[in-house]
C-alpha cells in the first residue's frame, strides 16, 4: 500500500489507493481525500482560498479519477474558481472556491473564538474493529472530548499520516481539507452500523490560512425530525481557529 491517498498517472489523472476507503463500503471513498485533491488542483493557480463549497454528486469510487479546473469569474481582487472530479466520464464531485487577494488587516483583526486545547493534551481515539482500516487508519486521531464513536459534540485533532498525492509534500491547506469533512463523523449522533448520515455537501470558510500538520475540529451535529441533519465545526490549527465548516446530512435508518 502506498503512503498517499492518490498516485499521479499524468494528464490530471490520479489512481486512488486503499487509504481513501470510507465507512460506507470498500468501493467508495471518504470525502476527505477527494476534497483535498480538488483543493490541491485549485491551489496550483492561486496561493490561497477563502471559501470552498463541494457538491457531492454521487459516491466517489476507489478508482482512477480525472481532475479539471477553470476560472469562472476572473478579477484583480476577487476570483471565483471551480474544479471537478470525474470517473469514466461521470462527474462525482465539484468544488467552487473564492480566492481573495491578500492585504494587511492586522490593525483590525479579531473576533475569533478561543483556541482548542493543544494536541499534546489530547488522547488517542479508540478505533473499533468494524472500521479500522482505509481512511480512518490513514489519519492520526486525538480526542480532547468525544470522538467518532462517541455520540454527540466533539473536539478532536487530526493529523494525516499520508500525502495527498504520492511524491508531493502536502501543504497545511491540503491537510486541512483532507480531514474537515470528518466534522460530521466525529460529532455524529447515530450508530453508522444502523443509520446512514451522509453529507450531500461541504462548505468551508477560512478567515486565515492554516499552518502546521494538525487540524482541530470543534464539531457538533443537529438532526431534525424529517431525515435532515446539519453538522458544523470551528476549524483550528495549533495557533487557534482558522475558519468554519457546514454540512447538510441525509439521515436514514439502514434496512
| pLDDT of 223 above 70 | yes
Beta-bridged to residue 220, according to DSSP, are 232
Cell of 112: 475569533
Counting other chains too, the contacts that 224-231 makes at CB distance below 8 Å and 24 or more residues apart are 227/251, 227/252, 229/184, 229/189, 229/197, 231/183, 231/184, 231/187, 231/199
What is the per-residue pLDDT across 11-54, written as a single tens digit (0 to 9) for each?
999 999 999 999 878 899 999 999 999 999 999 989 899 999 99
Total number of residues shown for the chain: 255
What is the per-residue pLDDT across 133-185, written as a single tens digit (0 to 9) for each?
899 999 999 999 998 878 899 999 999 999 999 999 999 999 999 999 999 99
Q: Taking the CB of residue 59, how many other CB atoms lie within 10 A of it?
A: 17
Beta-bridged to residue 53, according to DSSP, are 96, 203
Amino acid at each position: 500500500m502506498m503512503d498517499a491517498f492518490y498516485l499521479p498517472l499524468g494528464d490530471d489523472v490520479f489512481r486512488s489507493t486503499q487509504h481513501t476507503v470510507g465507512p460506507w463500503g470498500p468501493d467508495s471513498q471518504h470525502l476527505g481525500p477527494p476534497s483535498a485533491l480538488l483543493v490541491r488542483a485549485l491551489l496550483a493557480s492561486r496561493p490561497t482560498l477563502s471559501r470552498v463549497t463541494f457538491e457531492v454528486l454521487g459516491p466517489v469510487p476507489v478508482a482512477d479519477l480525472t481532475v479539471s479546473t477553470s476560472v469562472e469569474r476572473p478579477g484583480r481582487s476577487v476570483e471565483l474558481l471551480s474544479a471537478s472530479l470525474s470517473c469514466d466520464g461521470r462527474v462525482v464531485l465539484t468544488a467552487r472556491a473564492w480566492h481573495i487577494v491578500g492585504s494587511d488587516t492586522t490593525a483590525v483583526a479579531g473576533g475569533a473564538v478561543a483556541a482548542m486545547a493543544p494536541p499534546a493534551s489530547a488522547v488517542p481515539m479508540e478505533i473499533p474493529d468494524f472500521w479500522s482500516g482505509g481512511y480512518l487508519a490513514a489519519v492520526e486521531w486525538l480526542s480532547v472530548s468525544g470522538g467518532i464513536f462517541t455520540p454527540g459534540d466533539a473536539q478532536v485533532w487530526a493529523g494525516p499520516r499520508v500525502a495527498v498525492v504520492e511524491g508531493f509534500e502536502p501543504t497545511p491547506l491540503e491537510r486541512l481539507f483532507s480531514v474537515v469533512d470528518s466534522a460530521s463523523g466525529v460529532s455524529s449522533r447515530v450508530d453508522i452500523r444502523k443509520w446512514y448520515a451522509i453529507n450531500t455537501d461541504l462548505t468551508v470558510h477560512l478567515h486565515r490560512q492554516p499552518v502546521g500538520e494538525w487540524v482541530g475540529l470543534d464539531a457538533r451535529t443537529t438532526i431534525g425530525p424529517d431525515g435532515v441533519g446539519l453538522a458544523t465545526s470551528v476549524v483550528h490549527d495549533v495557533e487557534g481557529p482558522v475558519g468554519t465548516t457546514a454540512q447538510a446530512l441525509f439521515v436514514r435508518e439502514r434496512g
